Amino acid sequence: MTKIHINLFDIAYIRTRLSQYVTLKDALACILVNKSWFEDFIPTIWHTIDFEAHPQFVNLNMSVVTKHGRHIRIIENLNTIAALEAIQNASVSKLVSLSMVLDPCLHYQACCYDILRRNNASLKNISFSSLYEMEMYLFVDALSPSASTNASSRLSHLGLSGVTMTRDAFSSLLRMSPALVKLRISKTTLSPVSGAELYQHPKMVYLSASINQVFMVSNQSPGSPSLLAHFPNLKTWSAFNPTISDITPQVMKAEISQCCPLLNTMYSNLTPELFADLITDCFKNLKCICFMCDIISPTLTMAILAHIDTIDTILTYEPSPGFYESDDIHSVNKQLGQHGWAVQIMLQLCSRLKIVKIPLLEMNMGDIEKAEWSCTKLAFLYIRIHGLDTEEMVNRAIQLWVDGRNRKSQECNSHQLSAISQDNLPLEERVARHLLKFKELKEVWLGTYIRQVA
């Protein structure tokens, strides 16, 4: 029987799937193979246009954009009239993400309006920023799909920075964006309008805004309702910028309680005192917090413990992109390392904890073994252990944990281990034995890469 040899790359479906994962450089090489490869890989080349990374795009002949503009899905750093004119083409009509800087120039605004109008039915992510104070009413209408298309806005993520608009226009923007779930807003003024309706968005659950932005939406009218009044189902608030003026914890607590009863997650880069006061005085039923690791303190620890009956997630911001994927053991800041006791107390007392990611604080294994952790449902654990400071030691500890989880007679072996003096075991085995106590633990990081088990 004759064997038929098939080159998998001759199958169009496989090439199309592969094209979604190659780099731009590789895609450019692939389109040179033949016409079929060109058709399969050209969408990858045109998928994302970043005018900061590829400023030469503005020099393309308009006929080229007309031919391939239908493939563009993401446009980033759209901030010059030349860039706007480069995509001023009817073929650019299927964008899903757009990042643009606003400008008071009328021609610039007209071009912005046109690109938004052509893509308002497909855009899911829009970010507006401005170096000027300006009205944004022109673009609100542009974001609403035409009634004749029978399409509704798909916008789910919106960013506003450095713009000015009326409170009524802001309500209109929310109303015409029924799919909106995430709003990032900064340096934005909402000018008051007498009798304006405060639209309450039913799906918005994530807000990123400073405390000032939330509670002082207009300098012209300090007593205006806070931004929270628009989001009755808000669950997560990422608060930044510690500068506050004339906003008391009592005011914040009352507003949060009245406007956002479901708010239970707080991300913040505030000072330790301010963050501690905020989560102590203004929140009930707090479930998740994320903060800068360098603000850990006894005051903050006590504030977290005030939510001992509800807190299930404690995070610190990832120190740098790709930090958890690195094979290198990062050194522990000695000043931060001495606060490992705080993590121990949280794990010991907060019985509902499921996720703990605090990679820059070093815990002592002896302290861990002296007091049981009450969080039996723990599923994600990212910590450092004092003495577990080489890649080999970390990998061995994690492998022992994985082997223990996979071993059918795990319970028997755990019982046998418990009869052995802890002091007589290598540190890696002590760590693994401790991890095996948590039956639902499925993801661990101890200093190198993340390890998962089913």
Q: Which two tokens stand for residue 187?
A: 């340096």
Does the structure show a pLDDT above 70 at 424? no
pLDDT at 25: 72
pLDDT at 35: 73
pLDDT digits (tens, 9 = 90+) for 80-129: 999 999 999 999 999 999 999 988 888 988 899 999 999 999 999 999 99
Do 182 and 259 lie in one domain? The reply is: no
- Helix, strand counts (H, E) of the chain: 18, 17
Do 186 and 64 lie in one domain? The reply is: yes
Residue type, 257: S
Domain ends where: 173, 204, 235? 204
Contacts (Cβ under 8 Å, ≥6 apart) of 117:
142
pLDDT at 275: 87
- Widest distance between CA atoms in the chain: 86
209 closest CA partner among 266, 137, 260, 130: 266
Q: The CATH number of the domain where 129 resides is what?
A: 3.80.10
Residues 363 and 348: their CA atoms lie apart, in Å, by 13
Candidate from 45-49, 101-105, 241-245 with smallest mean pLDDT: 241-245
Residues 120 and 132: their CA atoms lie apart, in Å, by 24
Do 226 and 333 lie in one domain? The reply is: no
Contacts (Cβ under 8 Å, ≥6 apart) of 121:
145, 149, 151, 153, 154
Do 254 and 190 lie in one domain? The reply is: no
Residue 198 lies in a domain: yes
pLDDT digits (tens, 9 = 90+) for 382-400: 999 999 989 999 999 999 9
pLDDT band with cut points at 50, 70 and 90 for residue 430: very high
Residues 226 and 185: their CA atoms lie apart, in Å, by 13
Residue 233 lies in a domain: yes
Contact criterion met (CB below 8 Å) for 450 and 444: yes
pLDDT at 13: 57
Mean pLDDT of 129-139: 67
Residue 374's Cβ-count burial label (10 Å; 0-12, 13-18, 19+) is middle
pLDDT at 165: 85
Helices 272-281 and 249-259: crossing angle in degrees, nearest 10, is 50
Residue 346 lies in a domain: yes
Residues 266 and 282: their CA atoms lie apart, in Å, by 11
Residue 394 lies in a domain: yes
Domain ends where: 186, 204, 222? 204
64 closest CA partner among 95, 82, 89, 41: 89
Contacts 24+ apart (CB under 8 A), 366-372: 367/340, 367/341, 368/344, 368/434, 369/422, 369/430, 369/434, 371/344, 372/348
Does the structure show a pLDDT above 80 at 426? yes
pLDDT at 19: 62
Do 446 and 357 lie in one domain? The reply is: yes
Domain ends where: 178, 204, 230? 204
Do 146 and 256 lie in one domain? The reply is: no
83 closest CA partner among 114, 118, 58: 58
Helices 391-406 and 410-418: crossing angle in degrees, nearest 10, is 120
pLDDT at 284: 86
Residue 416 lies in a domain: yes
Residue 12 lies in a domain: no
Total domains in the fold of the chain = 3
Model pTM score: 0.86
Query: Which has more confidence, 307 or 409?
Result: 307
Residues 179 and 154: their CA atoms lie apart, in Å, by 6
Does the structure show a pLDDT above 50 at 409? no
Residue 412 lies in a domain: yes
31 closest CA partner among 71, 63, 61: 71
Do 166 and 220 lie in one domain? The reply is: no
Do 285 and 274 lie in one domain? The reply is: yes
Do 132 and 181 lie in one domain? The reply is: yes
Do 190 and 166 lie in one domain? The reply is: yes
The 10 Å Cβ neighbour count of residue 275 is 24
Do 165 and 211 lie in one domain? The reply is: no
Do 180 and 268 lie in one domain? The reply is: no
Residue 46 lies in a domain: no
Query: Which domain range does residue 330 map to?
Result: 312-454
Query: Which has more confidence, 233 or 212?
Result: 233
Q: How far is CA 213 from the centre of its chain?
A: 20
Mean pLDDT of 420-446: 87
